[in-house]
Amino acid sequence: MNIQMKKGIVEICVLSTLRKEPSYGYKIINDISEIVSISESTLYPILRRLEINGCLETYTQEFNGRIRKYYKITDEGLNKINDFISEWSKVEKAFRFIKSWEE
Amino acid sequence: MNKSEFLGKLNLGLNNLTDSEKKDIISYYDELIEDMMESKNITDEEAIEELGSIENIISKFSKQDEKIVYEEEYAGSNKKEFAKNIIFILVLWAILSAIIECYGFTIKLAIRLYTNCFNQISDSLGNGVALFGGATILTGVLIAVIPPIYRLVCIEIKSIRKLIISIRS
């Protein structure tokens, strides 16, 4: 997939996996690996960026005697997903346009 | 490579990042490795192998693209830090000036005590010795405070230099 496109989509995918419940690094990677393969070092800056932009919050919780960092979606993050969905019709329109000039 | 070796190497490799960024990345990998070991029932060596080459990971975190994320975050705090630095430099400057002023007066006082003591020693031995004692104590104090003053001056110079560098960039 095109890098620019992938970047935007992965962000939304990450946010979507947090919609049901807060999650942690390893689980997020596994959850979204079905649609996009993403390395650990790629996910990290995405999570940071989303946190800085206020789309998610973090908290730590003990698990098996160690600390795990959990990511929780915020209202801002939910808005971002909705924006993406509502923008999709425009993307489809562009897609049809691109296709129509194919021949 | 086991987990602590891996995290140690990562720590060294991420030297150009700030301490809090480094700490965050290291705890991220620490947690990942633990999670991989538990869910896949593998050793830390195997988990680290799956993460790929450490050089690759380090270079990814040093890339410009990732830096932008950090810079965005620190842009706000940089301004605050800049103002704080200037205030710190000015306050330290004032304190240093006051200290140097006092130092000058104390030198003057010590010299006067030495000259008085030689003048008076012929009239009254007791007075002369007392003045000489006072002058000696002052001399001792003047020598003793040189290292801390020197340290303060160094801190001031360092802060000014840092400020100049931050203005340039």
ipTM for this prediction: 0.84
Calculate how close chain B gets to A81, using CA atoms only, in Å. 21
| pLDDT confidence of residue B56 | 87
Residues of B within 8 A of A69 (CB-CB) are: 27-28, 31
B28/A44 CB distance under 8 A: yes
- Helix, strand, or coil (residue B75): helix
Q: Choose among A41, A42, A66: nearest Cβ to B34.
A: A66
Calculate how close chain B gets to A96, using CA atoms only, in Å. 32
Q: Which of residues 40-99 of B touch A (CB under 8 A)?
A: 51-52, 56-57, 60-61, 65-66, 69-70, 72-73
Structure tokens at B51: 């993460």
Residues of A within 8 A of B34 (CB-CB) are: 64, 66
pTM here is 0.57
Structure tokens at B88: 């710190």
Cα end-to-end distance, chain B, whole Å: 39
Q: pLDDT tens-digit profile of B25-84?
A: 999 999 999 999 999 999 999 999 988 888 888 888 876 444 444 444 444 456 777 788
pLDDT of A15 above 60: yes
| pLDDT confidence of residue B141 | 92
Give all strands (DSSP E) within B47-120, no chain letters: none
Which site among B28, B41, B42, B56 would you substitute to test the A interface, given the most A Cβ atoms closer than 10 Å to its Cβ?
Answer: B28
Neighbour order of strands in the sheet with A56-63: A23-24, A66-73, A56-63
Residues of B within 8 A of A24 (CB-CB) are: 31, 35
Residues of A within 8 A of B32 (CB-CB) are: 25-26, 40
Structure tokens at B141: 């104090």
- What mean pLDDT is predicted for residues B136-165? 90
pLDDT of B97 above 70: yes
Structure tokens at B149: 């003053």
Cα end-to-end distance, chain A, whole Å: 23
β-bridge partners, A76: none
pLDDT of A5 above 60: yes
Which site among A4, A24, A37, A41 would you substitute to test the B interface, given the most B Cβ atoms closer than 10 Å to its Cβ?
Answer: A41
Which site among A40, A42, A68, A71 would you substitute to test the B interface, given the most B Cβ atoms closer than 10 Å to its Cβ?
Answer: A40
Q: pLDDT tens-digit profile of A58-94?
A: 999 998 889 999 999 999 999 999 999 998 888 889 9
A73, A76, A82, A86: CA torsion to nearest 10: -150
pLDDT of B163 above 80: yes
CB proximity B6 to A under 8 Å: no
A67/B66 CB distance under 8 A: no
Q: Choose among A25, A45, A68: nearest Cβ to B69.
A: A45
Residue B110 · residue B135 · CB < 8 Å: yes
